[in-house]
Amino acid sequence: MAAFLAELLAVAGTLPCPTTQSELRALWLSPSYDKLRRPADAVAAQQADWPRDVMPPPDDVFVNLQVNALKNVDAKEQTITLDNWVRTIWFDPRLAFNDSCMGTPSPDGDGSWSFDGSYLEELWFPEFYSPAMPGSVTPRGDIVKSSAFWLSKDGKVWWTREVQWTPRCPMGFQDMPYDFHTCNIIWTGFRQHSKEISVQLPAGQDFLWGLQGVRFGCSPGSIEWTLLSVNGSVVVEDGQGLASGVSKVKYAVSFRRNPAYYEIYFLVPMFLMFVIAWSSFFVARAAVPARVAMVIIAFLSMSGTLNAVLSTLPKQGYHVWILDVGILHSCVVFFAILEYVGANFLMRKEAALNKATDAAKKRLADKAPPVQAAAATERTATEVEVQVGAASGQAGGFELVSEVRKSTGRAERLLLRRDKTTPTMWLRDQDLDIFCRYAFPVVYAIAMIVLLAKVPSPPDVDAALLEVCE
């Protein structure tokens, strides 16, 4: 394309020689300049020997993206916000001029003069859009903070804009808060057909002042997010080359979350709630308000923390690491609630069983022979129990156990040990408390080790990003 334009310029005749920028602007305000025709097509139309049934080659359009800041990542809306400088460079031979008539040299010393970006509407320019950014047709659709372009004596137009992009990016948060994402942004021609413009990335060419496809500003990350890399590539579809296929620029923006906030204000409080729930096993079972309040408050605190995280996420259908940790702690605290319910139940059943045992001893004492019954008044309750058992032909107190079973409910009967001669329970409330004191932290530690094993290794930051501020 560059060779084609150079050949056309060679036969274009004498170049205009403006003396001021106003006269330079008159180059594209003249009736002979058609801003609706692209440069190669307009110049070819001026050549008498150009075949009318042959389309001129596409105009080369170079696109450079400089990412200055990753301002925000909206997880719920699946969007990111980037502050960029977008540079678009192309050649328009109709705008070439002789700069020797200008009263002063150009500020850059290379024969280029600057104009406000609003003047760009007066000449031909390539329009771009991204399917990921509704309403992104330039220059009207983006949030443009500032815009300017430079016109060089060889007809090169260098258009620079400070814009804010908010593309939609499908993101998965399975590893949150150790998640990292890649947002693919397609940047392609809008009004011009792919056979009219050939979108390319700068590769350090001299006429582009060594510009590369992607650049970075200093410290482009944000407080919560770290920018890892931005890579640009030209995507060619449905053709054998840029001239015949659909050419687009694909930017892959990679970034990761800084987990410190969630580690300090989510994971640490969760662990403290676990310690509170575990400490409840050491509180007296008779202190019902204390034990209930400890675990209930811990459970409500974790529910509020989980809701705060859920409010920032879309309604996903997959597991999220930080939510799994929260659910684990909620289940642990809920188990502490259930454990105390069970311990309180056993404590009440043991009290009922002791009451039934005292009543059974009294009934058996009433059934004893008169002599034995009279003598029993001068003996202890244990001596009476042994005597009653011996009189009935049983070793110890199996009759007492049988009598107790007759006067208790189903729950007490299920809890009675069948191999004992005294009414005792096979599971007592203190046994359950002691077991949970040891099993509780062991199960918690195993579950946390499994979850921590799923944490991915953090990706490295691109070396270009590390060197940009040095």
How far the first Cα of the chain sits from its last, in Å, is 38
Q: At residue 10, does pLDDT exceed 60?
A: no
CA angle, residues 137, 142, 148, in degrees to nearest 5: 100
CA angle, residues 54, 57, 63, in degrees to nearest 5: 155
Confidence at 391, pLDDT banded by 50, 70, 90: very low
pTM above 0.85, yes or no: no
pLDDT for residue 140 = 42
Give the 3-state secondary structure of residue 20.
coil
- Asked which of 158-162, 379-383, 399-403 is least confident by mean pLDDT, the reply is 379-383
One DSSP character per residue, 331-364 reads HHHHHHHHHHHHHHHHHHHHHHHHHHHHHHHHHH
Strands 225-237 and 79-91: unpaired
Q: At residue 384, does pLDDT exceed 80?
A: no
For tokens 């007809």, name the residue: 155
| Each residue's pLDDT tens digit, 199-239 | 889 988 888 888 888 888 776 677 889 888 899 988 866 55
CATH number of 262-367+404-452: 1.20.58.390
Give 193's contacts (C-beta < 8 A, 6+ positions apart). none
One DSSP character per residue, 389-447 reads HHHTT-SSSHHHHHHHHHTS-HHHHHHB-TT-SS--BSS-HHHHHHHHHHHHHHHHHHH
Kindly list the distances between the CA atom of residue 394 and the CA atoms of 309, 359, 403, 459, in Å, as whole numbers in the listed order. Answer: 66, 20, 13, 77
pLDDT for residue 257 = 93
Q: At residue 242, does pLDDT exceed 50?
A: no
Q: Do the beta carbons of residue 459 and residue 178 sit within 8 Å?
A: no
Question: Which tokens belong to 469?
Answer: 């501020």
In this structure, whether the domain defined by 2-258 belongs to CATH 2.70.170.10 is answered with: yes
Instruction: Out of 70-79, 98-107, 192-201, 456-465, give the one with best mean pLDDT.
Output: 70-79
pLDDT for residue 237 = 65
| Each residue's pLDDT tens digit, 118-132 | 899 899 998 887 877
Domain map of the chain by residue range?
2-258, 262-367+404-452
* 276-297: average pLDDT: 88
Kindly list the distances between the CA atom of residue 368 and the CA atoms of 4, 15, 223, 389, 464, in Å, as whole numbers in the listed order. Answer: 126, 135, 85, 10, 98
| Each residue's pLDDT tens digit, 43-96 | 888 887 778 778 888 899 999 999 988 988 999 888 999 999 999 999 999 999
Share above pLDDT 90 across residues of the chain, in percent, rounded to a whole number: 25
* 14-42: average pLDDT: 87
Round the CA-based radius of gyration of the chain to a whole number and report it.
Answer: 42
Q: At residue 143, does pLDDT exceed 80?
A: no
Helices (H) and strands (E) in the chain, counts: 13, 11
Kindly list the distances between the CA atom of residue 237 and the CA atoms of 34, 62, 95, 199, 214, in Å, as whole numbers in the listed order. Answer: 30, 18, 32, 13, 22
